[in-house]
Structure 1
Amino acid sequence: MKKDEKTVISPQQNPNTFLSDLKELFKAVVLIFNVLPVFAGFWLALYFTNSTFTASWDLFLLTMAGSTCVMAGALILNNWYDVDIDTIMERTKNRPTVTGNLSLKAVLTMGIIFSVVGLILLLFTTIEAALYAFIGWFIYVFLYTIWSKRKYTLNTVIGSVSGAVTPLIGWAALEPANHTVPIIMFLILFIWQIPHTFVIAIRKYDEYKAAGVAMLPVVHGLAITKRQTVIYIACLLPLPFYLASLGTTFMVIATLLNIGWLILGISGFFTKDDLNWANKMFLYSVNYLMIIFIIMIIATVPWFG
């Protein structure tokens, strides 16, 4: 398929189909999971700097709109560049770049516009917030998507850096992020993404292999992938204790979540059904992240901790 082969949208195209195409293009679920830590970072910065939301609502809107646009731009550019492997993989075959419902030229233009607009909006907050967003965007688009994804198993670690800067963006919109809380939030996100991505690669092993994507289980096998998954989860164990300022309840819940995930990870060494294990690990990791960041937010409510 050539880059200018298709029109952006035909007059006959069903509006529901167009909305579905946009959802696929923006990777809606991934986008939401990236926006939540931005909100958490901003919210916790308000709490630890004794600021009020009413006095910072303009910064909040700029931060959320800007970071969402930057991340959306990066995800769109990922779709634009990966159209060849998306055509092969079952889970990505409905993306509009594959179906041709959106032209690659239009997708490229959208990705650039969203990225630029997002960075401009963040510059109206602080330069530091815009810098973190640009670092995340650059790593995801160039170092992950274009450079490492198809060549090196290290692509998972590289991509995890881009996803981990999100709470730093939210915090830095209010206050410099040289504080224990945003740094630990960064580390939680960075470490979490690696085993989360490993189990996705196990679940979609055949697709990644067919597409020639250098995922760890495809290149080095399941045994080493399981070992590294457990090691990375174990690295999460001490992190809640650096967030004692969020209260005992948070530390207990976060620690129990870490232990539960570690036990589930270790169980992978004793199962013959790797796919079933990977499915359970995937569901646990998705809920883990959501619970951790929601509890971080409500931990600032006086009755919680």
Structure 2
Amino acid sequence: MFSFLTELKYLFKRFVLIANVLPALLGFIIAAKYYDISFIDYLLPFGLLLVGSGMLVAGALTLNNWLEADVDKLMERTKQRPTVTGSLSLKTILGLGIALSIIGQAILFFINLEVAIYGFIGWYTYVVVYTVWTKRKVTWNTHVGSLSGAVTPLMGWAVVDSAMHPIPLSLFAVMFLWQMPHTYAIAIRKYDDYARAGLKMLPVVRGYDVTVRRTNIYLGLLLLTPLFVSGFSLIFYILLTVVNISWLVIGLSGFKWLPIKKWANLLFVSSLAYLLTVFLLFVLFV
């Protein structure tokens, strides 16, 4: 039993799973505070969101493993996945991915249609558009993957009310822009793996200099995100701007100020701190 759970840990990419489910839950919490609703009244929908989003994301990640079994064998970072070790058959992994995806999508549908639509958009863009169509062919595959992750706070907000609202849309923008530097940092850190596998990641195809420049474009665009949301206190905008500028300074240090791998490590760690801080600011000041 313990061995099977260990296999699931690698199959579901546990940290990626958490990183996709947590924004959905935080999106709900922010909406609940904004509309001043009782959490007890929404306990069931919140539970369905937790389970449904978790299963849908796990299903997408499992299918990603199944679709990339050939390239995973070429990369050091993925050598412990069941698709590489053979501890689970590819047929079993495919069946598990399909089952989790269907059940997760159905659970989200029981919350409401809008939540289910966002869930499907995230699943489809990640499994089909990102994994199947673009990851092996074009460098802008990262944009597609970013779209998949960016819909998660919309799911959480839509549990309470329509996500066609400036606050969840600003969170969507933050997550979309955030994922570009975050993913570029990973691609630089794991450059040899991606090059060996032939995946079209920007550093592999266009080099480090282009990647650093692109990274700073997205970090610069994050400075504009406070302009798209209103109704917060002045201290919120000040703190959010300080956080955005701080991350931009780290990004600018990639222009020959730091060795590229050290810069990528710093960018990666700071990206996690950045996203948690931004969501915390929204939770505290909404």
Q: Which residue number corresponds to residue 199 of structure 1?
A: 185
What is the percent sequence identity of the aligned residues? 48
Indicate yes or no: 2:71 matched with 1:65: no
Q: By how many angstroms is 1:292 displaced? A: 1.5
Q: Which residue number corresponds to residue 228 of structure 2?
A: 242
Question: What letter is aligned with 1:201?
Answer: A
Q: Distance in 2 between matches of 1:34 and 1:248?
A: 30
TM-score normalized with structure 1 length: 0.90
Radius of gyration: which is bigger? 1
Is the 8 Å Cα contact of residues 139 and 159 (structure 1) preserved in structure 2? yes
Indicate yes or no: 2:94 matched with 1:108: yes
1:36 maps to which of 17, 22, 44:
22
Greater shift after overlay, 210-219 or 31-40? 31-40
Question: What letter is aligned with 1:134?
Answer: F
Q: Which residue number corresponds to residue 216 of structure 1?
A: 202
Greater shift after overlay, 242-251 or 85-94? 242-251
Alignment size in residue pairs: 286
Q: SS of 1:178's equivalent? A: coil
Greater shift after overlay, 111-120 or 291-300? 291-300
Q: Which residue number corresponds to residue 262 of structure 2?
A: 276
Q: Which residue number corresponds to residue 122 of structure 2?
A: 136
Q: Distance in 1 between matches of 2:50 and 2:68?
A: 27
2:7 maps to which of 21, 38, 48:
21
Q: Which residue number corresponds to residue 12 of structure 1?
A: none
Q: Distance in 2 between matches of 1:69 and 1:251?
A: 35
Q: SS of 2:40's equivalent? A: coil
Question: What letter is aligned with 1:149?
Answer: K
Indicate yes or no: 2:157 matched with 1:171: yes
Q: Which residue number corresponds to residue 3 of structure 1?
A: none
Question: What letter is aligned with 1:277?
Answer: W
Q: Distance in 2 between matches of 1:249 and 1:111?
A: 44
Q: SS of 1:256's equivalent? A: helix
Greater shift after overlay, 95-104 or 245-254? 245-254
Q: Distance in 2 between matches of 1:245 and 1:40?
A: 19
Q: By how many angstroms is 1:230 displaced? A: 0.2
1:183 maps to which of 163, 169, 181:
169
Q: By how many angstroms is 1:244 displaced? A: 4.3
Indicate yes or no: 2:275 matched with 1:289: yes
Q: How does 1:256-275 map to 2 (within 5 A)?
A: 256-271=242-257, 273-275=259-261
Question: What letter is aligned with 1:113?
Answer: A
Q: Distance in 1 between matches of 2:180 and 2:285?
A: 26
Greater shift after overlay, 47-56 or 125-134? 47-56
* CA RMSD between the two structures: 1.3
Q: By how many angstroms is 1:137 displaced? A: 0.3
Q: How does 1:74-89 map to 2 (within 5 A)?
A: 74-89=60-75
Q: Which residue number corresponds to residue 38 of structure 2?
A: 52
Q: By how many angstroms is 1:17 displaced? A: 3.2
Q: Distance in 2 between matches of 1:40 and 1:272?
A: 34
Q: Which residue number corresponds to residue 133 of structure 2?
A: 147
Where do 4+ consecutive residues of structure 1 move more than 4 Å?
none
Q: By how many angstroms is 1:264 displaced? A: 1.0
Q: By how many angstroms is 1:247 displaced? A: 3.1
Q: By how many angstroms is 1:133 displaced? A: 0.4
Q: Distance in 1 between matches of 2:98 and 2:210?
A: 38
Question: What letter is aligned with 2:18?
Answer: I
Q: Which residue number corresponds to residue 303 of structure 1?
A: none
